[in-house]
Amino acid sequence: MADGINLSRRGLFRGRLSTPKPGVQLPWSVSWDEFVADCTRCGDCLAACPEQILVKGDGGFPTVDFLRGECTFCGECVDVCQAPVFRPTTQTPWEYVAHIGAGCLASAQVFCQRCQDSCEQQAIRFSPQLGRVPTPSVHTESCNGCGACVADCPVGSIRMGLPHDGGPR
């Protein structure tokens, strides 16, 4: 694949000539354009991930699927990769943070705090409200984007995104 062009039959039928950027890239990965240019799609990172949250995405490029679990930032994907698609693990792995959508059970007045319970960073907190169930908020300065809350949400209203991207889509 040269210059991010995806000439696979599936891509052509869908009118797509490049590999779309996934919702969540691998931790410590370089920009998507650089990643696509240099990733060999060998699958070594998928096999190395002890949490098994890395999956093949569009074009066979690895992506993170938080519905399978959380990222523990172990660095195994970086260590096993032979391609120049990762930054040093001494840097912040990524800027992703949790975004809680309108489908949250609390907005329907159903008591649920599973996301808070699964958050080791204590980045998700519930604020009590008189006459209503507590509502969640994400303290982005504490959230490391591990994704533990995503798989734990019984209604799928949490996703990972950049802090400034406006929340769930």
The predicted-structure confidence for 31-73, as pLDDT tens digits, reads as follows 999 999 999 999 999 999 999 999 999 999 999 999 999 999 9
pTM, entire model: 0.82
- The answer on whether 49 is annotated among ligand-binding residues is yes
- The answer on whether 77 is annotated among ligand-binding residues is yes
Sign of the dihedral through C-alpha 164, 115, 120, 151: negative
- The answer on whether 71 is annotated among ligand-binding residues is yes
- The answer on whether 119 is annotated among ligand-binding residues is no
- The answer on whether 112 is annotated among ligand-binding residues is no
User: How far is Cα of residue 35 from the mean position of the Cα atoms in its chain?
Assistant: 16
- The answer on whether 45 is annotated among ligand-binding residues is yes
- The answer on whether 143 is annotated among ligand-binding residues is yes
pLDDT tens track for 87-143: 999 999 999 999 999 999 999 999 999 999 999 999 999 999 899 999 999 999 999
- The answer on whether 104 is annotated among ligand-binding residues is no
Residue whose token pair is 């698609």: 85
Q: Supply the DSSP symbol for 155.
A: T
User: How far is Cα of residue 74 from the mean position of the Cα atoms in its chain?
Assistant: 15
Residue 10 to residue 61: CA distance in whole angstroms: 14
Residue 3 pLDDT exceeds 60: no
| CB-based contact 129:142 (threshold 8 Å) | no
| CB-based contact 50:69 (threshold 8 Å) | no
Residue 145: closest CA among 163, 165, 130, 127: 163
Beta strands in the chain (DSSP E): 54-56, 62-64, 97-100, 124-129, 132-138, 158-161
Residue whose token pair is 């008189």: 130
